Structures are given as structure tokens and as C-alpha cells.
Amino acid sequence: MNPTTLFGLCGAALVGIGLYGLLTDPRLLRKIIAFNLVGSGVFLLFGVVARRGADAGLGGDPVPQALVITGIVVAFSATALAVALLLRLHDAGGGATLDDGADSAGKDRSPS
């Protein structure tokens, strides 16, 4: 197994672990961390694509490397926004999980 395949498999495993966490854990902070795991897996795949697409003598194709930087910035901002919302939710007395609202269909809500 060459390093590129190994990194690819690691990326796939990270995406899988992250998705599992996102779907099963009701705690919001865990969900946010799980999202970051998925993101890391995808970014690792960017690296794999860059390595595979490289011309002879080059370390990597620069396009995916440029894209991954944008991707990391976006994931960072998303995490910051999610954590800020979570803190506000906690301060507003709404707890830190989503487990009570999963079946919000048809539930009575105060007018807004």
C-alpha cells in the first residue's frame, strides 16, 4: 500500500467516524467536533488528490492545495458560528442538546 492510498483510507475513515458522531450524539458540542472530523477527512482527501494529480518532479497539484485553504477557513468560521450560537443557547437556558426538539412537527409554539 503506497502512502497516497493510506492517506485516502484515513480520510475516508475520518469522514465515516465524523458522520457517525454527527448522527448519533445529541450533544451539540460533540456534533460540532464531529463536523470538524468530517471536514478534516475531506481536507485529507484534497491532499491525496493533489498528490495523485501532481506532475513528475512536483510535490503536488497546487489547485487542490489552494482550495483546501479556503475550505479550512470556511470550516473554521462555521465552527466559530456554531460555538457562538451554542453559548447563546446555553445562556438563554436552552441547554446544550437537540434531543428534545427532534420531532418538532406540529408542536405548539409561541407566536413570533
Partner 1 sequence: MPPTEALAAGASAGGGWLVASIAWPIIALLLVIAGGERLAARVGVLALPIGLAIAAAVALQVGGSGELVYNVGGWAPPLGIALRADGLSAAMLLVTAIVAGGSGIYALADFGPPRAGSSGRTSLAFWASLLGAWAALNLAFLGNDLFNLYVALEMLTFAAVPLVCLDGRAETLKAALRYLLYALVGSVLYLLGAVLLYGAYGTLDLGLLATVAQPGPATWAAAALMTAGLLAKTALFPLHLWLPPAHAGAPPAASAVLSALVVKGSFFIVLRLWFEALPGLGSAAAMQLIGLLGAGAILYGSALALRQTRLKLLVAYSTVAQIGYLFLVFPLAFDAASGRLAAGAALMGGLLQAVSHALAKAAMFMSAGLIAVTLGHDRIADLGGLARARPTSLLAFALAGVSLVGLPPSGGFAAKWLLLSAAVATGQWWWAVVIVLGGLLTGAYLVLVLMRALDEPTAPAAPLQPVAAWREAVPLVLALLAVFMGLAGVLP
Give CA–CA dist 56/46, Å, rounded. Answer: 18
**Segment 38-97, which members bind partner 1 (CB under 8 A)?**
38-39, 42, 45-46, 48-49, 52-53, 63-64, 67, 70-71, 74-75, 77-78, 81-82, 85-86, 88-89, 92-94
Cell of 13: 475513515
Q: Which CB atom, from 1 or from 91, has the smaller least distance to partner 1?
A: 91
Phi then psi dihedrals of residue 97, to 5 deg = -130, 170
- For residue 59, count other CB atoms closer than 10 A to its CB: 9
Alpha-helical (H) ranges within the chain are: 3-24, 28-52, 62-91
| Chain residues in the site for partner 1 (CB under 8 A) | 15, 19, 22, 28, 31-32, 35, 38-39, 42, 45-46, 48-49, 52-53, 63-64, 67, 70-71, 74-75, 77-78, 81-82, 85-86, 88-89, 92-94, 98, 101-102, 104-106, 108-112
